[in-house]
Structure 1
Amino acid sequence: MVELKEILKYISFVVFLPITYFLLSLVLSYITINPEITGTHKNSSIYLASDGVHLEIIIPKNKLDTALLNGLKQNSQENYLSFGWGDRTFYIKASTSSNFTFKNKLQAAFMNTPTLLHIKGYFTKQNNWVEIKITASQLATLQTYINNTFKKTTTLQKIRLPDISYGNTDNFYDANGNYNCFNTCNTWVNEGLKQSQIKASLWTPFDFGLLHIHKK
């Protein structure tokens, strides 16, 4: 009887954790921080895009500063660059069409796994992008945040992984930071907005909170 109680207690704990995580994520995703800046000085635009799970930040190339552009492989015809951050194993497995196993998912969720930055070029603005109007100061801070995420050599060069990509318009780079269920690809985007004083969620591991906030 004692063993049965212990087993039931363990099962309840295992079930309780993901439910608590999801409910907490849901509530905090819709709590907005950083007040809206009013006025006519918001003369720059960035964009948010999601593949249904994973958010990325898109910035027009003509608004990118030299520090962020330096060391990036580029196509001169591209007009926008997107920046996403995430679990290294997931990106590599996805780019090589290998299976991202259940073990990989557990490691990504519950261990501090290494990360990569995913940079993709676009020729035209996409219809599903969510536009955010920001100030020059906010844009500069956001670019510093993204640039600091790149892991660099001793000579401050960005480290591109030449054999990994989804196609002809994207590249992967070594990144700082570790991925886990509390620090996800969407948390990285949200933190960039928070540090740049752009409207953001209090905390969110998912994409829907930020999309909702900026679709208003």
Structure 2
Amino acid sequence: MRRRLVVALVLVVLAPFAGAIVPRPLLTSAAAGREAPRRILVLSNPIHTDIALPADPDVIERLGFLSSSGLPLSDPAVKWLVVGWGGRSFYLETPTWSDLKPGPVLRALTADSSAMHVAIAGEIDQTIEGVIPIDLSEAAFADMVSASLDGFARDADGEPILIEGRSYGPYDRFYEGIGTFNAVVGCNTWTGAVLRRAGLRTGWWNPLPQSLAWSLRTFNDLPGMAATARDGRR
């Protein structure tokens, strides 16, 4: 019995690393060398990843619904729109580590509804740890923005559903998300799926920010790669 428990624990520890070393997709298209004028950032902390989109006119237009929630998208100081998907309870009830409670953690490990978190940001230092700059072609960038927007649940009029009165501060908002959050399908697997829509390769399964970052750097030419692969994205 003890041996089985040890084996199970070893498998749990090794599974995220095993998932990272198998690329997804297995094969990549020979579409390198094209112009890659659009830069995004993958932002990570010890447990979570977000995608920062440039506050360019076309991005602001596609995320224009944020203005109605009070976010000042037209402010020239806004340089990035940071988008992430996560467990609803953990997101809303854990603004800081000091707010950590057993309930949201348990729901995050088992099953929880999801939420989208969007924040506006000024200049971001792209050279520090936890920031991965990635250059995309126009087509790949458009696909990735569409994939990000697919995470928002929508009302009968097709508008994203704001979670009223819940934010970490004046520069972020929460919206209802699509899908169920759990220990297997979490925020970092969502980030990986969105990046694959842009033609990037990731590990097959990346539950941790560290494994996602490692697979991005290992299987892609970063920074400045022309992520224009059009085949086998998923």
**TM-score class, shorter:** 0.7 to 0.9
Task: Answer with 1 or 2: which has the greater Rg.
Answer: 1
Query: Quick one: which amino acid aligns to residue 92 of structure 2?
Result: I
CA distance in 2, matches of 1:101, 1:16: 30
Residue 59 of structure 1 is matched in structure 2 by 53
Query: Quick one: which amino acid aligns to residue 201 of structure 1?
Result: G
Residue 20 of structure 2 is matched in structure 1 by 29
Residue 106 of structure 1 is matched in structure 2 by 106
Query: Quick one: which amino acid aligns to residue 25 of structure 1?
Result: P
8 A contact 1:94–1:100 mirrored in 2: yes
Cα offset, 1:46, TM superposition: 0.8
What's the secondary structure of 1:95's corresponding residue?
coil
Q: TM-score by structure 2 length?
A: 0.78
1:48 aligns with 2:42: yes
Flag the 1:48–1:120 CA change in 2: closer, same or farther, 3 A.
Answer: same
Root-mean-square deviation over aligned CA pairs: 2.4
Cα offset, 1:63, TM superposition: 6.2
Q: Which runs of 5+ in 2 are unaligned?
A: 223-234
Query: Quick one: which amino acid aligns to residue 201 of structure 2?
Result: K
**Candidates 206, 209, 212, aligned match of 2:211:** 209
Q: Which runs of 5+ in 1 are unaligned?
A: 1-8
**Candidates 200, 203, 206, aligned match of 2:202:** 200
Q: What does residue range 66-81 of structure 1 map to in structure 2 within 5 Å?
A: 68-73=62-67, 74-75=71-72, 76-77=74-75, 78-81=78-81
Q: Count residues in correspondence.
A: 206
Identity %: 21
What's the secondary structure of 1:58's corresponding residue?
strand
CA distance in 2, matches of 1:184, 1:32: 18
Query: Quick one: which amino acid aligns to residue 27 of structure 1?
Result: A
Cα offset, 1:194, TM superposition: 1.7
Stretch moving more, 90-99 or 158-167: 90-99
Cα offset, 1:126, TM superposition: 2.6
8 A contact 2:20–2:214 mirrored in 1: no
Q: TM-score by structure 1 length?
A: 0.84
**Candidates 33, 58, 65, aligned match of 1:39:** 33
Flag the 1:65–1:122 CA change in 2: closer, same or farther, 3 A.
Answer: closer
Residue 84 of structure 1 is matched in structure 2 by 84
